Structure 1
Amino acid sequence: MLQRFAIYYAPDVTDTLWDRASVWLGRDAAATTFFEGAVAGLDRSRLLNLTQSAARYGFHATIKPPMALAEGRSAEGLEAALAEAAREMAPVPLGRLRLAFIGDFLALVPAEDDPALAGFAAGVVEAFEPFRAPLGERERAERAAAGLTPRQQELLAAYGYPYVLDEFRFHMTLTDRLAEEDRDEVLAAARTWFGPVLERDMVLDRLVLFHEPKRGAPFRRLADYGLGRP
C-alpha cells in the first residue's frame, strides 16, 4: 500500500507538552517509545482503548493532511521544498491552549481564535498541493460518507480533505471518539495531566514532516523545519 506524508505542527521534542502528550497517548512518535502505567487516574489499558487512532497519528496539529505523493514527486523533493518554504515563513503566535471537545473528540485548541493561524494553514495547504496524489475512489467514498456539508464535499474534491481553508480549525487531538459516559472522567484526567503545561503562551514555530510507511501503520515524526530560520 502507498506510503503517505503529512505536514503537521508539533512542539519540540524537548518540550514538556510533547512529553506529556506522548505519555498520555502511550507512544512517542519521534522516538518510537511506548509508555506503560496509569495517567492521572486512568488505567493504561482503558486509555489505550480511548486513544488508538490518536496514538497512531502521533501528537500533532494537522496543517497539510496526510497525502500519497503525486506521480513524479519524491520524498526528497518534498523535504527540500518544505525546508525552503519554512525559511520564508514567520512563526505564528498560538497563545495559550485549552482543552475542548470537537464533536466527540477531546483536543487542545487555542484559547482565542486568530485569523492569521487559519491563513497560515491555508497557505501551506495550497503551497504543497502539487505534491498530493488524487484520492482513490474508495478513499473519496469513505470520506464522503461521513456526513459532510456541501462545502466540505467541495473541499474534499479539491484538496482531498474536507477540513481545510475556511473549514480549518487548529486542534491537537488527544482521544478518539468518546462515549458520553466517558467524557467527564477523561476531561478531568486531562485537566490534571495537562494543566501544568497549559499556563504559558505557545508559538507555531515549526512545520514537522510525519510519515506513514504503509496505510494503517503508525506515523513517525521524521524532521522539523523551523520557521524563519536560515
Structure 2
Amino acid sequence: MPQRFAIYYAPAATDHLWERAAVWLGRDPSTGLPYDGAVAGIDRARLLNLTQSAGRYGFHATLKPPMALAPGQDEEGLREAMQRAAAELEPVPLGKLVIADIDGFLALVPERAENAALQDFAASVVEIFEPFRAPLSPRDRAARASHGLTPRQEELLDAYGYPYVFDEFRFHMTLTDRLAEEDRSALLQAAQTWFAPVLEEELTLDRLTLFHEKENKLPFSRMADFPLGRGRE
C-alpha cells in the first residue's frame, strides 16, 4: 500500500489537551516519543492493548481521512493547498468537550452537539481536498464497508472514500479502541479522571494538521500545522 496522508484537526503540540492525550495513548506523533507508566490507575500494558488503533493514528479529529495521493499529486502540492485553504477558512469555536461512548469506543466530543459552522467547515475540507484523493482499491473499500453501513453511508463511501462525511460527520477525538463490556467502566472512569483538568477549557478548531503514514500499518506522524484565518489578518 502506498503512503497515506490525512488532514486532521489536532490541538497545538504545546496544548495541555494534546499533551494529556499523547500520554494517554502512549505516543506523541509530533516527536515520536513513547510514554510509559500507569495512567489514572490503568497500567500501561492494559492501556496500550485497549488503545492500539487509536494510538497508531494519533490523537486527532478526522476532517479528510487517510488517503493515498491521486496520480499527478504530491506532498508539496498538498501542503501548498492546505496553506491556501487554511488562510481562507475561519476558526470554529467548539466549546467544552466531554467524554462519550460512540459505538463502544471512548472519544472526546463537543458538549454542544449542534454546530452548523462546524458541519460546514468539515464539508468544505472534504470538498477542497477531494482532488488529492486516489480512488479506494476494492480491498480498501471492502474494509471500510465491513462495519455495517447505512445506504447513505455506502453512497458517501463510493463518492468520497469515507462514509462519515457531510450529514454523517460527527466531530470526535478517539481515546480508545472498541471496548469489551468488562473494560468500559474502568476506562471511562480513568479517562474522566485523566482528562478532567482540560475538560473545563473551551476548545477552538484553529488549524488544519497534516498527518502521514509512511508505510501500511506504521504509526502516523504529525507533519505540519496550518493555522486558520491568516489570509484575513
Give the TM-score, by structure 2 length.
0.98
Partner of 2:165: 164
Moved more, 140-149 or 89-98: 140-149
Matched, 1:18 2:18: yes
Show CA shifts across 1:135-184 (max 9, x none).
Answer: 00111112222210000000000000000110000000000000011111
Give the TM-score, by structure 1 length.
0.99
Partner of 1:66: 66
5 Å-filtered alignment, 1:14-53, equals 14-53=14-53
Counterpart amino acid of 1:24? W
Counterpart amino acid of 2:27? R
Matched, 1:229 2:230: yes
Q: Tell me the secondary structure at the aligned position of residue 106 of structure 1.
A: strand
Structure 1 unaligned regions, length at least 5:
none
Query: Considering only aligned residues, what root-mean-square deviation do their CA atoms show, in Å?
Result: 0.6
Partner of 1:155: 156
Distance, in Å, in 1 between the alignment partners of 2:73 and 2:2 is 13
Q: Tell me the secondary structure at the aligned position of residue 63 of structure 2.
A: strand
Shift of 1:116: 1.1
Distance, in Å, in 1 between the alignment partners of 2:145 and 2:38 is 37
Q: Tell me the secondary structure at the aligned position of residue 222 of structure 1.
A: strand
Counterpart amino acid of 1:66? P
Structure 2 unaligned regions, length at least 5:
none
Counterpart amino acid of 1:125? V
Partner of 1:211: 212
Q: Tell me the secondary structure at the aligned position of residue 133 of structure 1.
A: coil
Q: Tell me the secondary structure at the aligned position of residue 230 of structure 2.
A: coil
Distance, in Å, in 2 between the alignment partners of 1:142 and 1:54 is 17
Distance, in Å, in 1 between the alignment partners of 2:33 and 2:119 is 32
Counterpart amino acid of 1:136? S
Partner of 2:146: 145
Distance, in Å, in 2 between the alignment partners of 1:95 and 1:77 is 33
Distance, in Å, in 2 between the alignment partners of 1:101 and 1:46 is 19
Distance, in Å, in 2 between the alignment partners of 1:195 and 1:134 is 41
Distance, in Å, in 2 between the alignment partners of 1:37 and 1:66 is 30
Partner of 1:56: 56
Q: Tell me the secondary structure at the aligned position of residue 34 of structure 1.
A: coil
Moved more, 142-151 or 158-167: 142-151
Distance, in Å, in 2 between the alignment partners of 1:148 and 1:24 is 30
Distance, in Å, in 1 between the alignment partners of 2:222 and 2:44 is 23
Counterpart amino acid of 2:122? A
Matched, 1:87 2:87: yes
5 Å-filtered alignment, 1:170-209, equals 170-209=171-210
User: What's the % identity of the aligned pairs?
Assistant: 67
Question: For this pair of structures, how many residues does the alignment match?
Answer: 230
Counterpart amino acid of 1:119? D
Q: Tell me the secondary structure at the aligned position of residue 94 of structure 2.
A: strand
Distance, in Å, in 2 between the alignment partners of 1:193 and 1:229 is 34
Q: Tell me the secondary structure at the aligned position of residue 32 of structure 1.
A: coil
Distance, in Å, in 2 between the alignment partners of 1:142 and 1:224 is 29
Distance, in Å, in 2 between the alignment partners of 1:136 and 1:55 is 25
Distance, in Å, in 1 between the alignment partners of 2:87 and 2:35 is 35
Distance, in Å, in 2 between the alignment partners of 1:40 and 1:144 is 35
Distance, in Å, in 2 between the alignment partners of 1:115 and 1:103 is 23
Shift of 1:94: 0.5
